[in-house]
Structure 1
Amino acid sequence: MYYFYLIFLLNVRGIFGFGLFSFDHGYRHITKLRTYNATILRNDEYRWIEQRLDHFDPNEKRTWKMRYVENLDYWKPNGPIYVFVGGQYAISDEIPIRYGYLHELQRETNGALIYSEHRYYGESIPLDIHVTDNLKYLSSHQALADLAHLIKTIKSSSTFETSKVVFIGGSYAGNLVAWMKLKYPNLVDVAVASSAPVLAKVDFFEYLEKVSEDYQKLGPSGCLEKITEIFQRYEQLLKTADGIEQLKKEENICGDTDMTKLENKQMFFMVKISIFQMRAQYGTPDVIVDHCHQIMDSSTPYLKRLYDDEPKLFRKYRNCIHYDYNIFINIIKTGSLVPWFYQLCTEFGYFQTTTSAKQPFTNNVPVNFYYNVCTGLFGSEFDEKRVKRGVEYTNNFYGGLSPNVTMVVFVNGDKDPWSRLGIVNDLSSDAPAIVIPKAFNCEDLLMDEPSDSDELIAARKNIKKLVKKWIGFGA
């Protein structure tokens, strides 16, 4: 998911989206290429609740304040509580929580809406995120306990004590809603997990396989071959001094960037690949077709057309780009992305590598690159063994692709690269999987649009029907 946050750093227009190397996410991680007008949250809708710093150590007495939103616009007694779970981003008015089937369900069932912020993100900061030792209290396990305390507190009021509770979330937050139903079944009646990569994986080579498949199936003839040609040429140019000078001219790379360094070459490839990831994860079939036509248009140099896609993170001067690994690490260390990288390095992996031969981007972003990022950010102890141990624990603790849950619907778009780590087959009649043809990351959470496919619109209706059935609405 380093790519996810890289995509976020691209400053792409639009909202809703885990977010992240394709690392995000969630809803800044559900960054869309289409833009929605945001619903402004009123100041009186924000709430704060005191949480324990460590829910599992009785000797740890420190507490902190967690932020959440409470909206009662449609509330009537005995109505359900809809909990829209936040992931690795700040809750804000940039997230269209009052669009799509969530808004429709709230209105049609006279429900209350709670929108939660995850510990260590946004304004819900227990401790300084730039001190690595402070991050030991950051985990999905602790976040679930935060949500449990939030629901127990809300349900302790006579106003809500008889209300059914429905959890909804996308991407990493989709994981959380499924895991809430697994670990706290007495608190959660129904869960909708959208584009949830519930299987933690270190070497997530399948991600770029899916990107390749999307361009092959949706793009015009010759597109994938052209992408292969472009990346193989990059690889050849980076092998010689003359080639590097030629590449610097073509790609507007700053003259003082040392492109003989392996880690800088890897950064270069990672950034170039992220241009395709963004479109495969958050685009539409038309977006990929248009992108292919741009790539295949020989009248204009490829990168001249895509210069605006380059991350501002790497802009050193107005007219050049500085692909420097050490600068990248230092910027992450001092910025707000530290918590998500920490979770990736300690719980999930999700490292989108080029190790598969079934992709056109050459093999220049190996898994070792990500191990180096983890140790570079957090210290030598966050090495390969630590990453693998964390991923193994996550899958054992939550059940990977076979969580023992009911009243959970798992939703994926069949074009979403993250679906390779999601549940795409029914676990049972009460834990169905909905796979939406030609749909991308978390598209089911968005409002209907005229351009949406019949299958996407039907999937949203089906999700609503399941939720209403499971909470006994109208029964």
Structure 2
Amino acid sequence: MLLLALCVICSYAKLSLNQKVMQRISQSFMTLELNEVESMTYTVPLDHFNANNQNDFDIHYFVNKEFLDTNDPNAPLFVLLGGEGPASPKVLQNNYVIDSLAKKHKGLMLSVEHRFYGASTPSLEMDKLIYCTAEQALMDYVEVISHVQEENNLVGHPVIVLGGSYSGNLAAWMRQKYPNVVEGAWASSAPVEAVVDFYQYLEVVQNALPKNTADLLSFAFEKWDEMTTTEEGRKELGKIFNTCTEFGEKDIQTFAESIGTALSGYVQYNSSNWKSSYESTDSICTEINEDVVNKYPLFIKEKYNPEWGDKECTSSSQEESYKTLQSTSTYAEGNEGAAGRSWFFQTCIAYGYYQAVSEQSSVKWGKLNQLQGSIDMCKDIYGIDKDTLYNAVDHINVRYGGKKPCVTNVAFTNGNTDPWHALGVTESDHQEGNLVQLIDRTSHCSDLYSEKETDVPELKKARHNELKFIAQVLANVPQN
């Protein structure tokens, strides 16, 4: 699955929140029949920008020609770009708007897996992993699109790319960098502004909670934070939160991430389309507020860990976190957590996105979840120091423009309940030629799903605007 939000939270011994969501959705699709979807591979260079590097590998992609009108000289290609997780052919069926677009415009559907994720992983050793970049991935997409056009007699036909979250970035950047290849883009919940200290994430989470929840959590966390300072206190916390292992001083950061960000997923995917039975943030907080000191640990153990955790217990071991990210076993070799190594590497060499409680933050709880922990992991695991990290983030913003990209024909959409909207294009100033929407009461990437009766009116209207915008982009393309 390719669509949902990147979210580096909790212990890095786990997959990111986005990767877990993609994994759950993939599992929920296991009973669906593939029908018209074909699975294929295409060989691409390991390094597109160095002719002396002769290494190559296979990129996996999926094609659905169910609605393609082969007699239409302008039949478009709708391309779902891969993100930070394994791809699935099931995304080209009737669960997403790409299906609606292809049906309306009689086009071909294509989904391309991102390099170094899923089956498109040549190796996770550092000498290969350094080629896991957006720039290399964009060239993969260009080559696969050109190949599919040639194979299906669609050379010169218009191309629309779609993506959500990180792959939403890629959709916008592909239109920006390769306007000769791509006519338009749908960039949902795209955090196009890279930042090391993403303190705003947890601030949005805090603001989304009922009024008194943050104050109650602040009171409880003050007590729990104090308990981490002694061995006896840490042992007691281990019992209270059912930690997977006893934790020492070096593990405090990992433990703090686990318990300090547990509500984030429930805010980011609040009333999300991907799971109709998803419990709302309000209902969870109502229960917690009754007795926060006892009910919050119970929420971690009985709701959060079973829903998002790799285990029934609470992660607290820095050593286990490091082992997971240091493992070079691939997804094809049975390592379901392989995407974590690829994605955290990308955050260290381009994006940051670290959701901590820093000096700039107004968040009232989880203050032991510090930015320095993520910076240290970049150095310890990949050898990427602090200066390199900050310079890389600055570079990516200069290259693509951050929240003020120089691009046209892009639909930038964000939900105002999604913490990632803080890094997205949400203001229409200087965005002539683009569609910019900040959607009320809408969570992460919700507009990329097919419409449901339960969608709020604001989401239905925004999705309609996007479909209309893409139709206009196609109408403006010179006819063959």
TM-score, length basis structure 2: 0.86
1:429 equivalent to 2:432? Answer yes
1:27·1:95 contact (CA, 8 Å) conserved in 2? Answer: no
Following the alignment from structure 1 to structure 2, what is the Cα–Cα distance between the partners of residues 2 and 157? 33
Aligned residue number for residue 276 of structure 1:
263
Query: Residues 18-58 of structure 1, C-alpha deviation per residue, up to 9 Å, x if partnerless?
Result: xx644x459628x78x9778744359601111111111111
Q: Could you say if the C-alpha distance between residues 5 and 64 of structure 1 is closer, same or farther in structure 2, counting changes exceeding 3 Å?
A: farther
Q: CA deviation at 1:383?
A: 1.1
Q: CA deviation at 1:85?
A: 0.6
Q: Could you say if the C-alpha distance between residues 321 and 471 of structure 1 is closer, same or farther in structure 2, counting changes exceeding 3 Å?
A: closer
Q: CA deviation at 1:341?
A: 1.0
Specify the code of the residue in structure 2 equivalent to 1:227: L
Specify the code of the residue in structure 1 equivalent to 2:371: V
Specify the code of the residue in structure 2 equivalent to 1:152: S
Aligned residue number for residue 296 of structure 1:
289
Aligned residue number for residue 229 of structure 2:
239
Aligned residue number for residue 466 of structure 1:
469
Following the alignment from structure 2 to structure 1, what is the Cα–Cα distance between the partners of residues 243 and 60? 42
Query: Residues 242-288 of structure 1, C-alpha deviation per residue, up to 9 Å, x if partnerless?
Result: 4333323322236x6233x1x41111111113311111111139701
Q: CA deviation at 1:64?
A: 1.2
Which one of 128, 145, 149 corresponds to residue 143 of structure 2?
149
Aligned residue number for residue 276 of structure 2:
none
Q: Could you say if the C-alpha distance between residues 37 and 211 of structure 1 is closer, same or farther in structure 2, counting changes exceeding 3 Å?
A: farther
Specify the code of the residue in structure 1 equivalent to 2:194: A
1:170·1:193 contact (CA, 8 Å) conserved in 2? Answer: yes
Aligned residue number for residue 267 of structure 1:
254
Aligned residue number for residue 375 of structure 2:
371
Query: Residues 195-214 of structure 1, C-alpha deviation per residue, up to 9 Å, x if partnerless?
Result: 00011111111111111111
1:249 equivalent to 2:219? Answer no
1:39·1:96 contact (CA, 8 Å) conserved in 2? Answer: no
Aligned residue number for residue 82 of structure 1:
78
Specify the code of the residue in structure 1 equivalent to 2:22: R
The residue correspondences of 1:320-399 to structure 2 (distance < 5 A) are: 321=314, 323-334=316-327, 335-336=337-338, 337-355=340-358, 356-379=360-383, 382-399=384-401
1:7·1:278 contact (CA, 8 Å) conserved in 2? Answer: no
Q: CA deviation at 1:424?
A: 0.3
Specify the code of the residue in structure 2 equivalent to 1:266: Q
Following the alignment from structure 1 to structure 2, what is the Cα–Cα distance between the partners of residues 201 and 60? 32
Q: CA deviation at 1:170?
A: 0.2
Following the alignment from structure 2 to structure 1, what is the Cα–Cα distance between the partners of residues 32 and 471? 25
Q: Could you say if the C-alpha distance between residues 469 and 27 of structure 1 is closer, same or farther in structure 2, counting changes exceeding 3 Å?
A: farther
Q: How many residues align?
A: 449
Structure scoring higher RCO (CA < 8 A, sep ≥ 6) equals 2
2:41·2:61 contact (CA, 8 Å) conserved in 1? Answer: yes
Q: CA deviation at 1:393?
A: 1.4
Identity of aligned residues (%): 27
Q: What are the ranges of 5 or more consecutive residues in structure 2 without an aligned counterpart?
A: 273-278, 328-336
Aligned residue number for residue 183 of structure 2:
189
Q: Select between 182-191 and 265-274 the one with higher mean Cα deviation.
A: 265-274
Q: CA deviation at 1:363?
A: 2.0
Specify the code of the residue in structure 2 equivalent to 1:295: I
Q: Could you say if the C-alpha distance between residues 35 and 156 of structure 1 is closer, same or farther in structure 2, counting changes exceeding 3 Å?
A: closer
Following the alignment from structure 2 to structure 1, what is the Cα–Cα distance between the partners of residues 213 and 300? 16
Q: Could you say if the C-alpha distance between residues 242 and 338 of structure 1 is closer, same or farther in structure 2, counting changes exceeding 3 Å?
A: closer
Specify the code of the residue in structure 1 equivalent to 2:263: F
Specify the code of the residue in structure 2 equivalent to 1:367: L
Which one of 155, 161, 171 corresponds to residue 155 of structure 2?
161
Which one of 448, 452, 466 corresponds to residue 449 of structure 1?
452
1:85·1:173 contact (CA, 8 Å) conserved in 2? Answer: yes
1:203·1:353 contact (CA, 8 Å) conserved in 2? Answer: yes
Specify the code of the residue in structure 2 equivalent to 1:177: A
Aligned residue number for residue 50 of structure 1:
43
Q: CA deviation at 1:71?
A: 0.4
1:175·1:193 contact (CA, 8 Å) conserved in 2? Answer: yes
Q: CA deviation at 1:75?
A: 0.4
Specify the code of the residue in structure 1 equivalent to 2:268: Q
Aligned residue number for residue 213 of structure 1:
207
Question: Secondary structure of 1:168's partner?
Answer: strand
Q: Could you say if the C-alpha distance between residues 354 and 404 of structure 1 is closer, same or farther in structure 2, counting changes exceeding 3 Å?
A: same
Which one of 87, 101, 106 corresponds to residue 102 of structure 2?
106
Question: Secondary structure of 2:475's partner?
Answer: coil
Query: Residues 414-473 of structure 1, C-alpha deviation per residue, up to 9 Å, x if partnerless?
Result: 111111110001243311211100111101112222222101011111110000111018
Which one of 212, 217, 225 corresponds to residue 215 of structure 2?
225
Specify the code of the residue in structure 2 equivalent to 1:441: H
Q: CA deviation at 1:148?
A: 1.0
Following the alignment from structure 2 to structure 1, what is the Cα–Cα distance between the partners of residues 345 and 12? 17
Question: Secondary structure of 1:401's partner?
Answer: coil
1:41·1:92 contact (CA, 8 Å) conserved in 2? Answer: no
Question: Secondary structure of 1:423's partner?
Answer: coil
Q: CA deviation at 1:7?
A: 8.6
Q: What are the ranges of 5 or more consecutive residues in structure 1 without an aligned counterpart?
A: 11-19
1:310 equivalent to 2:305? Answer yes
Following the alignment from structure 1 to structure 2, what is the Cα–Cα distance between the partners of residues 97 and 173? 19
